[in-house]
Structure 1
Amino acid sequence: MTDHGYRAFLEEMLAPLGSVSIRRMFGGLGLFRDGLMFGLAVRDVLYLKVTPDETASFAAEGSAPFSYAGKGGRVTVIASYWQAPDRLSDDPEEFVAWARRACTAAERAQIGGGGGGGG
């Protein structure tokens, strides 16, 4: 479960984006803007929506896609959400820039028929 303090941190850091809603889901928090999910916070770790061509920049930061253990010990990877670099927590402007990119990725997925939800 995501800590209440982390939720407050996200609300503060995402305020410059305008109408962001944060909802409980997946044992964590879903981050939405204009009805599209652009982020997921689980156990105080932020994952942002990415397009396939952005995964290299996340990998270069040492990030990995969101994954979880499923039934039978099988690990499921959701490749469209990657862990945000830890350094963003110390740089509000950079944090918002990466969040804006995630919003754009969610919009592109919606246009391309990929939806803005959890996958």
Structure 2
Amino acid sequence: MGTKGEKATSKGRLVTELLVSKLDVIDKISSKKMFGGHGIFRQGKMFALVNSRGIVHFRTNDSSYKKYEAQGFEKHRRMPYHAVPDKVFDNPETLLDWAKEAIALSKNNTR
């Protein structure tokens, strides 16, 4: 999800496809184009987004965001999503753990 009016990019699309592929062990993961980026969903609840520059963000809440900000990754504007560090994205086990946490937050709609 990018800035309103921002155009989707091939990098954003490719990162979205890669993320969905990496999370294929979790059932019912899908993506949808939104505002120049992509929303990532599980069972109709958005738990992640990929902006038009191809940066992955996971849903966070008041306690989970601390591990993102401790590594210097900021919040996605006013939305409760934080950028996912490359070292997490590149580690399949850690990525799954962080994704499952974001999925749980999306189910509970907790902030």
Give the TM-score, by structure 2 length. 0.83
How far apart, in 1, do the equivalents of 2:82 and 2:76 lie? 6
Counterpart code for 2:99: A
Q: What does 1:49-64 correspond to in 2, within 5 Å? A: 49-64=59-74
In structure 2, the partner of 1:39 is 48
How far apart, in 2, do the equivalents of 1:13 and 1:62 lie? 24
Q: Is structure 2 residue 15 aligned with structure 1 residue 6? A: yes
In structure 2, the partner of 1:97 is 97
Q: What does 1:55-94 correspond to in 2, within 5 Å? A: 55-67=65-77, 77-78=78-79, 80-94=80-94
CA displacement, residues 57-81 of structure 1 (integer Å, 9 cap, x when unaligned)? 11112110002xxxxxxxxx32x11
| Larger fraction in strand | 1
Counterpart code for 1:44: G
**1:65 aligns to what SS in structure 2?**
coil
Q: Is structure 2 residue 36 aligned with structure 1 residue 27? A: yes
Sequence identity percentage = 27
In structure 1, the partner of 2:3 is none
Count of equivalent residues: 101
1:83, distance to aligned residue in structure 2 (A)? 0.7
Give the TM-score, by structure 1 length. 0.78
Q: Which structure has the larger Rg? A: 1
Structure 1 alignment gaps of length 5 or more: 68-76, 115-119
Counterpart code for 1:59: E
Superposition misfits of 4+ residues, deviation over 6 angstroms: none
How far apart, in 1, do the equivalents of 2:91 and 2:25 lie? 13
Structure 2 alignment gaps of length 5 or more: 1-7
RMSD: 1.5
